[in-house]
Chains A and B, each alone.
Chain A
Amino acid sequence: MVGRAESVNPKPGIGAAVFVVALISACLGSVFWYAKAGSGLSAYDWAAVRFTLLQAVLSAVFSVALAIPVARALARRQFFGRQAIIVVLGAPFILPVIVAVLGLLQVFGRAGWVSVALGWIGLPPFQIYGLHGVVLAHVFFNLPLATRLILQGWQDIPAERFRLAAQLGAGPVAMWRLLEKPMLMRLVPGVLAVVFAICLTSFAVALTLGGGPKATTIELAIYQAFRFDFDLSRAATLSVVQIVLTGTAALIAFNVSHSDGWGGGLDRPVQRWDTQSFGARGLDAAIITAAGLFLLLPMAAIVLSGLPKVFFLPGVVYSSAFTSILVSLGSTCVLLLLAIPIALAAVTRRYSWIEMVGLLGLATSPLVIGTGLFLLINPILDPSLLALPVTALVNAILALPFALRILVPSAREVVVRFGRLGLALNMQGWQFLRRVVLPRMRPQIGFAAGLTAALSMGDLGVIVLFADPERATLPLQIFRLMGSFQMQAAAGAALLLLVLSLAVFWLLDRGWRRYAKD
C-alpha cells in the first residue's frame, strides 16, 4: 500500500469528469474553428454586446438594491410565516422561466393588472417588451437569490455583537455604521457579480421579452443567426464573444463571492434592541409585503388564468408535456450518472480538485454548448433528430455544479464516518457503494435529482436550436403558443408546466427523503 487505503474508487468519477471536459472542449473547439471563417462583428452584433452588458448591470444593481432592505427586514423580524417566505425565496430556482414570464405579462403587460390600474388614473400602460421587461424578469428571478445571500450575511453577524452594540447604547444609525455597513461592503460586490454573471447568460427571458435591434442579447443573436439566417459562422463568432464575457464574469464572481447561499441557519432571526420603534416595524412590514406581492402575484396570475384552460388544451400541448417528462427524466439519469461518481472521486485525497469540473458548465452558456454540439453533429446527422437527447444532456451538464454542491459534502461525511469501517469489513467498491454510500446519501441524491428534473422540465434553451416543428418540449410549445398570440392556451400550458416542475421536484426530493432510512 503506497498511500492510505481509500474506501471509494475514484475511477468512475474520473471517467465522468473526463467525459464532461471532453464534451465542453469539443463544443468550444468547434465554435472557435467555425468562428475563424467568420467576418468579425457587425454593428448589430456590437449593439447586442452593449445591450447584454447593460441589462446585466441594471438587473444586478436593481436586484441587489431591492434585496438589501428585504433581507434586513427578514433578518430583524420574527413573525408567523417568516419561514415560509424564506422557503419561497428558494423557489425561483426551480420555476420555469417561461412560466414566470407569462405571469409577469399578466401583471405588468400591456393589458395586465398594473397597466389597467395605471389606466384608471389616466397614465399610459406599462411597457414590458424591451429593456424594461428583461430587467424586470431578471429582478424577479434574482431578487430572491440576492435576498438569500444577503440575509445569510446578516445572520453571520454574531448575536453577541448586536448585544454588545446595544449595551453600548447604539441606535439604528450607529448599528448600521458599526455592524451592518461593513458586512454589506464585504458581501455586496460578490452578490452583484453573481447576479451579473447569471443575467449575462440568461436566454429565455431575452427570447420572450427582448428582440429587435434595441433589445437583443448575444444569446438571442446566436439564436437568430441560427434560426433566421442559418449563418453558422456568425453564430460561432457570437459564441466566442459570449464565452469571453461569461468566462470573465464567472471568474470575477468566483473571486469576489464569499458565500453560496445554501447555508443553513436562515430560520433564526437575530434579537435586536434598536428596531422596535413603530416606524421601523411598519417599514419592515411594508417592505416584506411588497416583495411578497411582487414575487407571488405573477404566480397567482398564472394559476388564475391557466386554471380554466388547463384541461382543454390542444392535444399537441399534452404530447409535448409527455416529451418534457421524458427529457426531464433522461436528464436526471444522466446527471446522477455523472454527479455521484464525481462527488465520490472528489472526496478521495488525490482527486479533490475534480469538483471544479462542474464549474465548466457555469462558465459556458447553454446556447454556446448548443451551438458547439450543433456544429459537431450537423455534418454527420440531421441535428433535429437528436434534439431531445441533446437537450437532456446539456441540461444535465448545466445542473452538474449545483448537484455537486449538494452531493460532495454529504459524500465526504459518509466516507469520513464509515470509510474505515467499510475497509475493515472488506466491503469492496460496489458493496460499499450499494450498502452504505447510496443509502446514506439518499436525501441529498433526492434533492439533487429533484432540482435537475425541475430545471430540465422548465428549460427553454438549447432545444430551440435543435427542434423542428414536429418536436417540442412543453416550454417550447408554450413559446410557440405565445408567438401565435394564443395567450389563453399559453397560460393553461404554463400552469401545466408549473405543476409538472413542482411535482417532479417534490416527488424526487420528498419521495426519496421519505424512504431514507436511519
Chain B
Amino acid sequence: MLKIENAVIENGDFWLSANLQVETGQKVAVIGPSGAGKSTLIGAISGFFPLKDGQIFWNTSDISQTNPGLRPVAMLFQDSNLFPHLSVAQNVGLGIRPDLKLTPRQSDIVQTALVRVGLEGMADRKPAELSGGQQSRAALARVLVQDRPLLLLDEPFAALGPALRVEMLDLVDDLVRETGATLLMVSHAPEDARRIADQVILVEGGVAHSPQDTKTLLDNPPPALRAYLG
C-alpha cells in the first residue's frame, strides 16, 4: 500500500499538498488541468521533488528520504526514457544492474523481457533504429526487469498516435496484471483512464485528492473536473 501522509511537495515556487493512499495492485490514473501538479505528485513519489512536510510510506517503510534509485519504484518519463548511445539490451540491462555487469542468467532475463514486449531480435539495435512504439516497448521491458512493486508513468506515450497509445496501455495493463504491480499513471485523456484505471486521483487547486472509482468520478464530475473535461 502506498500512503502519502499530510505531504506538502515543493516544485520551485509551486506547492502541492497530498493526503491519500493507494491499495496494492490498484491501477490509478492521475488527471487534472495542465500545471495542476500531476507530474509533481509522481515526482515526489519517485523522489525527484523534496517534501516540505509529511511522509510517504510504501507498506510500513517510510521512503520520504530514500534516493530515487533505491525506492520501490519503476518510472517512465514523458521523454528520454532510453539512452540513445546504448543498445536496447543495455538499456534494459540497466534495470537489473546500473553498472551493466550482468551474469549470464541476468542477460537471459533481459532477453526474456524483450521477447515478452515483442522486441525479439532487436537487442543489439540503438534506440534511433526503433520506431516510436518499439522504443516504448523497450522502456517497458526495462520496467519488467526492474521488478519494482510500484510503476509510475508520467505520460510516456503522449507522443504516440492514438492507436499506438492504446496498444501500449493494453501492454501496460497486461504487464501489471502479470506482476501484480501497483500502477499510477498521469493522463490527459479521460478515455485512457476509463480503459485501464480502476481509480482516479484528481489533482487541482494545489491538492491531490484521494482516489475515487473511475466510472463514478467521470460520469458525475465535480465542477473543477467538469471545467477541465469540457
Instruction: Give me the interface of A with B, judged by CB distance under 8 Å.
Output: 1-5, 417-418, 420-421, 423-428, 431, 435-436, 439-440, 517-518
- Interface residues in B, total, Cβ within 8 A: 27
Are B86 and A421 neighbours in the complex by a CB distance under 8 Å? Answer: no
CB-defined contacts of B94 to chain A, threshold 8 Å: 425, 427, 435
Are A421 and B81 neighbours in the complex by a CB distance under 8 Å? Answer: yes
Are A435 and B48 neighbours in the complex by a CB distance under 8 Å? Answer: no
Q: Mark B86-128, 1 if CB is under 8 A from A, else 0.
A: 1000000011001110000000000000000000000000101
Chain A residue at minimum C-beta to C-beta distance from B128: A518
Please pick, from A424, A425, A440, the residue contacting B85 in the complex, using a CB distance under 8 A.
Answer: A440
CB-defined contacts of A423 to chain B, threshold 8 Å: 47-48, 67-69
Interface class of chain B by DSSP: loop
What are 7 A-B residue pairs whose CB atoms fall within 8 Å in the complex?
A: A2-B50, A423-B69, A425-B94, A425-B98, A427-B94, A435-B83, A518-B85
Verify if B57 is at the interface (C-beta below 8 Å from A): no
How far, in angstroms, from A426 to B96 measured CA to CA in the complex?
A: 10
Are A426 and B85 neighbours in the complex by a CB distance under 8 Å? Answer: no
Given contacts A1-B65, A425-B69, A426-B69, 5 further A-B contacts (CB under 8 A): A1-B47, A5-B47, A418-B83, A431-B99, A517-B85
Please pick, from A5, A418, A426, the residue contacting B48 in the complex, using a CB distance under 8 A.
Answer: A5
Verify if B214 is at the interface (C-beta below 8 Å from A): no
How far, in angstroms, from A388 to B175 measured CA to CA in the complex?
A: 62
Chain A residue at minimum C-beta to C-beta distance from B90: A435
Are B77 and A420 neighbours in the complex by a CB distance under 8 Å? Answer: yes
How far, in angstroms, from A126 to B4 measured CA to CA in the complex?
A: 83
CB-defined contacts of B128 to chain A, threshold 8 Å: 518
Are A439 and B85 neighbours in the complex by a CB distance under 8 Å? Answer: yes
Are B73 and A424 neighbours in the complex by a CB distance under 8 Å? Answer: yes
Instruction: Give me the interface of B with A, judged by CB distance under 8 Å.
Output: 46-50, 65, 67-70, 73-75, 77, 80-81, 83-86, 94-95, 98-100, 126, 128
The 5 lowest CB-CB distance pairs between A and B, nearest first, are: A426-B69, A427-B98, A423-B68, A517-B85, A439-B85
Are A424 and B75 neighbours in the complex by a CB distance under 8 Å? Answer: yes
Are B48 and A420 neighbours in the complex by a CB distance under 8 Å? Answer: yes
Are B69 and A427 neighbours in the complex by a CB distance under 8 Å? Answer: yes
CB-defined contacts of A424 to chain B, threshold 8 Å: 46, 68-69, 73-75, 77
Are A435 and B86 neighbours in the complex by a CB distance under 8 Å? Answer: yes
Distance in Å: Cβ of A452 to nearest Cβ of chain B: 24
Please pick, from A5, A421, A426, A428, the residue contacting B80 in the complex, using a CB distance under 8 A.
Answer: A421
Distance in Å: Cβ of B95 to nearest Cβ of chain A: 7
- Choose among A426, A431, A435 the residue with the greatest number of B CB atoms under 10 Å from its CB: A426
Are B67 and A1 neighbours in the complex by a CB distance under 8 Å? Answer: yes
- Choose among A2, A5, A424, A518 the residue with the greatest number of B CB atoms under 10 Å from its CB: A424
How far, in angstroms, from A4 to B68 measured CA to CA in the complex?
A: 10
How far, in angstroms, from A435 to B73 measured CA to CA in the complex?
A: 22
CB-defined contacts of A426 to chain B, threshold 8 Å: 67-70, 98
How far, in angstroms, from A318 to B223 measured CA to CA in the complex?
A: 83
CB-defined contacts of B69 to chain A, threshold 8 Å: 423-428
CB-defined contacts of A427 to chain B, threshold 8 Å: 69, 94, 98-99
How far, in angstroms, from A129 to B99 measured CA to CA in the complex?
A: 61
Please pick, from B47, B48, B80, B95, the residue contacting A425 in the complex, using a CB distance under 8 A.
Answer: B95
CB-defined contacts of B98 to chain A, threshold 8 Å: 425-428, 431
How far, in angstroms, from A428 to B86 measured CA to CA in the complex?
A: 17
How far, in angstroms, from A472 to B202 measured CA to CA in the complex?
A: 73
Distance in Å: Cβ of A268 to nearest Cβ of chain B: 27
Are B84 and A518 neighbours in the complex by a CB distance under 8 Å? Answer: yes
CB-defined contacts of A417 to chain B, threshold 8 Å: 80
Are A5 and B84 neighbours in the complex by a CB distance under 8 Å? Answer: no
Distance in Å: Cβ of A443 to nearest Cβ of chain B: 12
Distance in Å: Cβ of B153 to nearest Cβ of chain A: 12
CB-defined contacts of A418 to chain B, threshold 8 Å: 80, 83
